[in-house]
A and B are shown apart, each in its own frame.
Chain A
Amino acid sequence: MSAPVELPKWADVGLIPLINVAAAFVISGLVVIAIGENPFEAVKLLLGGALGDLEGIGFTLYYATSFIFTGLAVAICFQAGLFNIGVEGQAYVAGLGAALACLYLGFLPGYTLAVVAIAAAALFGAAFAAIPGYLQAKRDSHLVITTIMFNYIASAFMGYLLVRVLREPSQMNPETHVFPPGGWVPQLHAILTYFGVKWPVTPLNLSFFLALIASFAVWILIWRTRLGFEIRTVGANPTAAVYGGISPARITMITTLMSGALAGGLAVNVILGEQHRLILEYVGGFGFVGIAVALMGRAHPAGIVLAAILFGMLYQGGAELAFDKPKISRDMIVLIQGLVVLFAGALEHMFRAPLANLLAKFAARPVDAPAVERG
């Protein structure tokens, strides 16, 4: 273990992620060549599919909305030095909250139903995160282990409910009734059509703006409030936090609760914004991608929004690529996404030392901490 390499801030938040993504794309390009396709054409299709027209942009931002929420959920725990791998399960259970509100409170007038359903999603997500949070805070059971296992519990629990209890009897698919329209988070194309603007049908809905608001709120919380200071202190050094009069157990509890509530945003976007019914396994790995988004975004809300949009582009552009190039299967798209995760997350520090050396050479005076030689 060597000491972390000091980099100027602009390089740390800007250049390093860019280099990581570029490296992922270069390797992906080699794989594309290996299967006999033109990588430049593939990149063109991917970017064109993601950003080339309004439909592509709509889908990209729709996926990005999901990733912002799951990324924030992971990041807020990072700040407290916790690793919540259970976003997937928390979002899944949050979907139950949204669905129960919509199915049983349908008498609520207009969009109050949607508001209540959003609150229910956050509440259920938080409640499901509360158990591992409590076990970590009071019993020192490691959050990584418990949240991984709670994903399985969520999956089995929701599977049981959807198959045995909530399923519409006439339906083969384990899914609930369609919610009353008051519970739907309005989709952008519907709103714009109302104002006479033409926008293609995409699942992009107002949750996107909710996600942006949540990002801003998380930034305020972490860097501009006393609670945020406490969270960062516990994350940096729990022993020092105790010395400073902060209870790590309390912070752990609060942080995991907020993390679970943010995970509920995935349910808002997918269940209330697009599907309008609860379906089996709707989370589809988006919770896990949130880990990559948080890593890549450096656990900072601004970085998370950008990383989420990048992953949204990979999802949407990847789908277009798979559609237009039958040779490039969906597994190939997963490979590209995996490489981005690998370089942005696991190999995050690979380019740091060389980059620091390079920058030191160009700098007028050396960076204050001497770059560590790694041979």
Chain B
Amino acid sequence: MSRKSAYLCSGVSAAFGLALLASSAVLAADIKPAVIYDLGGKFDKSFNEGVYNGALKFKKDTGIEFRDLEIQNDAQREQDLRKFAKDGFSPILTVGFAWASALDKVAGEFPDTKFGIIDMVVDKPNVQSMLFKAQEGSFLVGVIAAKTSKTGKVGFVGGMDIPLISQFECGYAQGVKYVDGKDEVFANMTGTTPAAWNDPVKGGELAKSQIGRGADVVYAAAGATGQGVLKAAADAGKLGIGVDSDQNGLFPGKVLTSMLKRVDVATYNFFNTAKEGSWKPGFNVFGIKEGGVGYALDDFNKALITPETKAAVDAASADIVAGKIQIHDYMSDNKCPI
């Protein structure tokens, strides 16, 4: 689905770009934004693509062109970052935690350039670090899963086994247990290497095994692997939960909801604040309160979410914002209380 939307977006932007040519002299950019994706690449149908979509939207709204680049290996990180900075690009957004070391070095060399990083903290006076409270969004879909499950057993399929994904898993488990402490959560990671982000076959097998053990809702936080998970759930007549972008339309009626991690919003804001002069370095945390994470409700899953479930999840959401529900962040101590 997200691929389709990307095509749509690029189609729109191409048309828009033509219209733009005429007026580009007037709109001569006062900022030169740039994006460098992680090794996963621009069109990963998930995380990097979300950034791309946010940048496209910015281009559409403001007429300001952006440059973007996919790297091939780790040695290029510093090299390309430095090159963008040297060529006068600012703000420069790096996508993903793997950029931390390179950014830390290069940001010091170009103190007048604005840098950004997603999913990681780089403590420099010219860097904005954007973090997502994935545990909050995962908690909400955990509540929905537990409310919907008839067997009291739900599944989780993660991508690569890293703390970032354990953060999803832990938030999800807390949401499930919040509804009913006796509910069971089966959790599996697809692998330990980046290939785990793109292994739908194995993702599907893991989901099938969880379904075989009685799970009737399976949450996938696994990049492109997740499509295999959602398909396995749909084929078995069970329900899947998507991640990062709204994946409800992938298997209409078979995807219960999607945990939204709005990297597109973060990207858009990152560029837009730079354009308007309100850009600030430091942390920028995106939780439920900031509209950075949430769950997807649309025509595809309207029928699946009962009014009672909706009431419960909205109440939980309000309680999280109000601080009445404390969700443990796996990444704070690399432990999950559940």
Contacts of A239 in B (CB 8 A): none
- A173-B97, A173-B100 known; A319 vs B76 contact (CB < 8 Å): yes
Please state if B75 and A270 are interface contacts (CB–CB under 8 Å). yes
Look across to chain A and name the residue whose beta carbon is closest to the beta carbon of B67.
Answer: A326
Count, chain A residues at interface, CB 8 A: 33
Chain B 98-125 interface 0/1 with A at a Cβ cutoff of 8 Å (1 = within): 1011000000000000000001100000
Select which of B74, B119, B191 is within 8 A of A279 by beta carbon. B74
Please state if A159 and B191 are interface contacts (CB–CB under 8 Å). yes
Chain B 60-89 interface 0/1 with A at a Cβ cutoff of 8 Å (1 = within): 000000011111111110011001000000
Contacts of A173 in B (CB 8 A): 97-98, 100-101
Please state if B67 and A284 are interface contacts (CB–CB under 8 Å). no
The distance from the CB of B70 to the nearest CB of chain A, in whole angstroms, is 5
Is B334 close to A, CB under 8 A?
yes
Is A31 close to B, CB under 8 A?
no
Select which of A160, A203, A277 is within 8 A of B192 by beta carbon. A160
- A172-B163, A319-B80, A326-B68 known; A62 vs B75 contact (CB < 8 Å): yes
Contacts of A329 in B (CB 8 A): 70
Question: A242–B96 Cα gap in the complex (Å)?
Answer: 56
Contacts of A159 in B (CB 8 A): 161, 191-193
Please state if A281 and B194 are interface contacts (CB–CB under 8 Å). yes
Select which of A59, A169, A203, A330 is within 8 A of B70 by beta carbon. A330
Look across to chain A and name the residue whose beta carbon is closest to the beta carbon of B195.
Answer: A155
Is A33 close to B, CB under 8 A?
no
Chain A binding surface SS class: helix
Contacts of B72 in A (CB 8 A): 284, 315, 318-319, 322, 330, 333-334
Please state if A156 and B97 are interface contacts (CB–CB under 8 Å). no
Report B201-251 residues with CB < 8 Å from chain A CB: none
Report B12-40 residues with CB < 8 Å from chain A CB: none
Select which of B75, B83, B164 is within 8 A of A323 by beta carbon. B83
Select which of A163, A172, A280, A315 is within 8 A of B331 by beta carbon. A172
Contacts of B97 in A (CB 8 A): 172-173
Select which of B73, B119, B163 is within 8 A of A284 by beta carbon. B73
Report B147-181 residues with CB < 8 Å from chain A CB: 161-164
- A62-B75, A281-B194, A330-B72 known; A174 vs B80 contact (CB < 8 Å): no
Contacts of B83 in A (CB 8 A): 323
- A172-B164, A274-B75, A333-B72 known; A155 vs B193 contact (CB < 8 Å): yes
Report A247-289 residues with CB < 8 Å from chain B CB: 270, 274-275, 277, 279-282, 284
Please state if A203 and B75 are interface contacts (CB–CB under 8 Å). yes
Question: A59–B75 Cα gap in the complex (Å)?
Answer: 9
Question: A174–B97 Cα gap in the complex (Å)?
Answer: 10
Contacts of A333 in B (CB 8 A): 72
Question: A280–B72 Cα gap in the complex (Å)?
Answer: 15
Question: A159–B160 Cα gap in the complex (Å)?
Answer: 10
Question: A59–B98 Cα gap in the complex (Å)?
Answer: 21
Question: A275–B74 Cα gap in the complex (Å)?
Answer: 9
Contacts of B74 in A (CB 8 A): 275, 279, 282, 284
Contacts of B119 in A (CB 8 A): 172
Look across to chain B and name the residue whose beta carbon is closest to the beta carbon of A326.
Answer: B67
- A280-B193, A284-B74 known; A322 vs B162 contact (CB < 8 Å): no
Contacts of B41 in A (CB 8 A): 330
Look across to chain A and name the residue whose beta carbon is closest to the beta carbon of B71.
Answer: A330
Look across to chain A and name the residue whose beta carbon is closest to the beta carbon of B334.
Answer: A169
Look across to chain A and name the residue whose beta carbon is closest to the beta carbon of B119.
Answer: A172
- A172-B162, A174-B162, A319-B76 known; A156 vs B193 contact (CB < 8 Å): yes
Please state if A156 and B192 are interface contacts (CB–CB under 8 Å). yes
Chain A 101-134 interface 0/1 with B at a Cβ cutoff of 8 Å (1 = within): 0000000000000000000000000000000000
Question: A160–B192 Cα gap in the complex (Å)?
Answer: 6
- Counting chain A CB atoms within 10 Å of each CB, the highest count among B71, B75, B161 belongs to B75
Contacts of B71 in A (CB 8 A): 319, 330
The distance from the CB of B121 to the nearest CB of chain A, in whole angstroms, is 9
Question: A331–B74 Cα gap in the complex (Å)?
Answer: 16
Chain A 323-340 interface 0/1 with B at a Cβ cutoff of 8 Å (1 = within): 100100110011000000
The distance from the CB of A274 to the nearest CB of chain B, in whole angstroms, is 6
Please state if B194 and A280 are interface contacts (CB–CB under 8 Å). yes
Question: A275–B98 Cα gap in the complex (Å)?
Answer: 13
Contacts of B73 in A (CB 8 A): 284, 315
Question: A284–B71 Cα gap in the complex (Å)?
Answer: 12
Question: A322–B71 Cα gap in the complex (Å)?
Answer: 9
Contacts of B334 in A (CB 8 A): 169
Please state if B192 and A319 are interface contacts (CB–CB under 8 Å). no
Question: A63–B75 Cα gap in the complex (Å)?
Answer: 9
The distance from the CB of A57 to the nearest CB of chain B, in whole angstroms, is 13
Report A55-110 residues with CB < 8 Å from chain B CB: 59, 62-63
Look across to chain A and name the residue whose beta carbon is closest to the beta carbon of B98.
Answer: A173
Contacts of A270 in B (CB 8 A): 75
Look across to chain B and name the residue whose beta carbon is closest to the beta carbon of A159.
Answer: B192
Question: A173–B164 Cα gap in the complex (Å)?
Answer: 9
Report A143-166 residues with CB < 8 Å from chain B CB: 155-156, 159-160, 163
15 more CB-based (< 8 A) A-B contacts, given A319-B76, A323-B69, A326-B68? A62-B75, A155-B193, A156-B191, A171-B100, A172-B164, A172-B331, A173-B100, A203-B75, A270-B75, A275-B74, A280-B194, A315-B72, A319-B79, A322-B72, A329-B70
User: Would you give 6 A-B contacts (Cβ < 8 Å), ordered by A?
Assistant: A156-B193, A172-B119, A172-B162, A280-B194, A323-B80, A326-B67
Residues of A whose CB lies within 8 Å of any CB of B are: 59, 62-63, 155-156, 159-160, 163, 169, 171-174, 203, 270, 274-275, 277, 279-282, 284, 315, 318-319, 322-323, 326, 329-330, 333-334
